[in-house]
Amino acid sequence: MPRPFEYFKYYSAVVDTPFTCAYIFLWLYPRMPPTPFGDQLKREREMRGVSIEEISAATRISTRFLEALEKEQWDQLPGGVFRRGFIRSVARFLGLDGDALISEYELQTKDISPDRPTSNYSSEIPRNYRPAAAALAILAALLAGGWFAYKYYAPEIAARIHKRQSAPAAGSTTVPASPADPTAANTGASANAADPSIPLDLKIQAGRPSDLKVSADGKPVFDGHIEADEVKQFEAHDTLEITATDPSALFLELNGQTVPPIGTPGQPGSITLTHKDLKRQPGGPN
């Protein structure tokens, strides 16, 4: 019968690899399983000469729970953070690394804490959104400034545009009457004269909010607040008095004729309109 060493020589020749002592020891002595968690905890306690009662008095953990830890009786222990808190307190008392002991417990029991941070780091390069945020902020500021300027100066700009557009039309339609034609002269004079029998029709449109007071023939007809883009109409026989906290925000039309802005922007002002104001042709001097 061949000796064991001859078997080693035979297998070495077949595999074409030297059969060293490492292979022999691995074959004869397989890897031992890790020490159970409870036995490891008990061994650390006994090496320090500490009793379970001493640990219980120091950590305020019941001896029943401490014995269940060493015996790995998990059904007698509260789960979740309480169990890990017991392990951490015992490790601190024995001078051990609490995180390492909890990791050993989780490795053996497969009880992974959901609060433990994972090691899955994102490989994506973080993006810098500051330039885009700054550009959006500048754009929002420009839009807000444009909207404010439009609301503040829209009535005044509309009045000036209407005045410039109506001036050439008024100049082109005016035909001087011939001295030999007294009928045409009388017609032109009557067209420029104000007829007191015609009622005064006032239209007010707000470009932005303002407080407004209106009196017709000496009687108050409106006293309140007018919102942006709101339109009010009033009628009188002789006079119309308008008072506003910001009269430049109002666009006025008297019998279809544009009335120039009242006062300076942002300052209170008032105006009284009569039939004489109807003599002003659109686009004429204020």
Per-residue pLDDT of the chain (286 residues; tens, 9 = 90+): 445 444 444 444 444 444 444 444 444 444 455 788 889 899 999 999 999 999 999 999 999 999 998 998 988 888 778 889 999 999 999 999 989 988 988 888 877 655 554 444 444 445 678 899 999 999 999 998 888 888 778 787 877 887 777 665 555 544 444 454 545 444 444 444 457 778 888 889 888 888 888 999 989 999 998 888 899 889 998 898 888 887 777 878 888 888 877 767 777 888 888 888 876 544 444 4
Radius of gyration of the chain (CA): 50
> What pLDDT shows up at residue 13?
45
CA distance 252 to 234: 11
Sequence-ordered list of residues with C-beta below 8 angstroms from that of 188, at least 6 positions apart, any chain: 177
Phi and psi at 285, nearest 5°, equal: -70, 150
Q: Do strands 231-236 and 219-226 pair parallel, antiparallel, or not at all (unpaired)?
A: unpaired
Residues listed for the chain:
286
Long-range contacts of 80-86 (CB under 8 A, 24+ apart): 81/113, 81/115, 83/111, 84/113, 86/59, 86/61
Phi and psi at 213, nearest 5°, equal: -130, 135
CA distance 208 to 230: 9
Q: Where are the alpha helices (DSSP H) in 174-281?
A: 182-192
Burial of 234 (0-12, 13-18, 19+ CB in 10 A): middle
CA distance 239 to 259: 14
Residue 168, H or E segment? helix 130-173
Contact 91, 101 (CB under 8 A): yes
Residue 236, H or E segment? strand 231-236
CA distance 4 to 23: 14
189 closest CA partner among 171, 172, 174: 174
* Amino acid occupying residue 31: R
Q: ∠197-201-202 over CA atoms, to 5°? A: 145
- The pTM of the full predicted model, rounded to 2 decimals, is 0.32
